[in-house]
């Protein structure tokens, strides 16, 4: 790659880390910016503008048939690159057309189907899946839970830095108190073993390691669902005990749905959809559900009311009366 492009990518990485973007976002932004620069190998970054960005996004949409969410992620990456690395005014870029995501009614499991799926899981995978359903968590919110985020006294879970960089409080299911207490004992034993072997550090966000020296070795900061292996952190170069990899539950849940014989496609996020729908079914108001889910806009939560309108807005088919 052109040395100028390489230098731009290094600057982009530094800018992302300075602003405490997650490693997943960093990897995604670097990926799209690298593809954009490679799309115009004979132009300098300073020579690129709206025409080049528009042509690149059109290529992604038309020739690569990329999903709307991925197109928008690419546009966000380029917006950050032009603004923070090239120090360019980006008003023109904000006027570009963002890809529209199709409005789809989410897949939801019935209570019986939730039980069937959970019956196919065990151990940490069962506990994590149960927590996603029982507390309405996103997969990464569940994986990023720390020991200190589980409050048994008030029977609640504190979700730190959720989507939109917002904290929120959600319910801790009573039936998971004992399993979670056992999980904490396991995490504590694992942490003690790491300390004895000269490790025991965990990644802390937002430069908390500098603010609280030694906190990354404390038990309360350890992940609730730790990985079975220590891993090398590409940012610090040290070895940490990180949380489970997302695909661990994604693959297990896919297999569980298939083994349960449920004729639906589903993912860990389906458990969150089911949590919201079932709360509305039993009479909780939509504002309460919105708060528990952490939705900024209530219109996002309203999608679950469509799920409750069984069979075409609650209409009873004449066939049921004719053959009844």
Residue 185 domain-assigned?
yes
Comparing C-alpha atoms, which of 215, 214, 213, 219 is closest to residue 190?
219
CA dist., res. 18 & res. 4, Å (int) = 21
For the stretch 62-91, pLDDT in tens is 777 778 888 889 989 999 999 899 988 766
Q: Cβ distance 211 to 174 under 8 Å? A: no
41 with 118, same domain: the answer is no
Residue 314 domain-assigned?
no
Residue 105 domain-assigned?
no
141 with 282, same domain: the answer is yes
Tell me which of 29, 133, 240, 304 is the catalytic residue. Answer: 304
CB atoms under 10 Å from CB of 2, counted, come to: 14
Mean pLDDT for 16-44 is: 90
Residue 101 domain-assigned?
no
128 with 72, same domain: the answer is no
72 with 168, same domain: the answer is no
In the predicted model, is pLDDT for residue 173 greater than 90?
yes
90 with 115, same domain: the answer is no
Tell me which of 138, 242, 273, 278 is the catalytic residue. Answer: 138
155 with 241, same domain: the answer is yes
Q: Decide: residue 133, CB within 10 A, 0-12 exposed, 13-18 middle, 19+ buried.
A: buried
For the stretch 110-167, pLDDT in tens is 999 999 999 999 999 999 999 999 999 999 999 999 999 999 999 999 998 877 678 8
Tell me which of 163, 217, 230, 254 is the catalytic residue. Answer: 163
Q: Which residues of 144-165 are buried (b: 16+ CB within 10 A; e: fewer)?
A: bbbbebbeeeeeebbbeebeee
132 with 277, same domain: the answer is yes
Residue 14 domain-assigned?
yes
169 with 90, same domain: the answer is no
CA dist., res. 36 & res. 302, Å (int) = 37
Q: Cβ distance 99 to 72 under 8 Å? A: yes
137 with 13, same domain: the answer is no
Residue 245 domain-assigned?
yes
CATH of the domain at 234: 1.10.443.10
For the stretch 198-241, pLDDT in tens is 999 998 876 677 777 888 899 999 999 999 999 888 777 788 89
Q: How many domains does the chain fold into?
A: 2
Tell me which of 125, 243, 272, 273 is the catalytic residue. Answer: 272
Residue 102 domain-assigned?
no
CATH of the domain at 38: 1.10.150.130
82 with 133, same domain: the answer is no
Domain extent at residue 259: 111-307
Active site residue 269: yes
Active site residue 138: yes
| Residue 88, token pair as written in the block | 């360019």
Active site residue 254: no
Tell me which of 125, 191, 273, 295 is the catalytic residue. Answer: 295
169 with 226, same domain: the answer is yes
CB atoms under 10 Å from CB of 175, counted, come to: 9
Q: Cβ distance 281 to 108 under 8 Å? A: no
240 with 283, same domain: the answer is yes
Q: What are phi and psi of 161, to 5 degrees?
A: 50, 50
């Amino acid at each position: 790659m052109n040395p100028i492009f390489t230098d731009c990518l290094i600057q982009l990485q530094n800018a992302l880390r300075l602003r405490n973007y997650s490693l997943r976002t960093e990897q995604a932004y670097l990926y799209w910016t690298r593809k954009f620069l490679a799309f115009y190998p004979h132009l300098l970054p300073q020579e690129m503008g709206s025409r080049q960005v528009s042509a690149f996004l059109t290529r992604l949409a038309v020739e690569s048939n990329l999903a709307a969410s991925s197109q928008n992620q690419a546009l966000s990456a380029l917006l950050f690159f032009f603004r923070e690395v090239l120090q360019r005014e980006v008003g023109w870029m904000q006027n570009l057309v963002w890809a529209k995501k199709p409005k789809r009614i989410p897949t939801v499991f019935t209570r019986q189907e939730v039980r069937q799926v959970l019956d196919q899981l065990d151990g940490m995978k069962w506990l994590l899946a149960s927590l996603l359903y029982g507390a309405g968590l996103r997969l990464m919110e569940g994986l990023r839970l720390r020991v200190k985020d589980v409050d048994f006294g008030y029977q609640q879970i504190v979700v730190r830095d959720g989507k939109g960089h917002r904290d929120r409080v959600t319910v801790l299911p009573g039936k998971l108190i004992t399993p979670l207490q056992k999980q904490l004992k396991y995490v504590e034993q694992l942490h003690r073993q790491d300390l004895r072997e000269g490790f025991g550090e965990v990644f802390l966000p937002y430069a908390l390691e500098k603010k609280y020296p030694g906190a990354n070795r404390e038990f309360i900061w350890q992940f609730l669902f730790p990985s079975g292996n220590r891993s090398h952190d590409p940012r610090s170069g040290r070895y940490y005990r990180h949380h489970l990899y997302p695909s661990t539950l994604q693959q297990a849940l896919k297999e569980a749905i298939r083994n349960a014989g449920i004729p639906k496609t589903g993912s860990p996020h389906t458990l969150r959809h089911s949590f919201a729908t079932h709360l509305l079914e039993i009479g909780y108001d939509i504002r309460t559900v919105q708060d528990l889910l952490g939705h900024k806009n209530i219109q996002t939560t309203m999608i679950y009311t469509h799920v409750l309108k069984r069979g075409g807005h609650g209409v009873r088919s004449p066939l049921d009366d004719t053959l009844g």
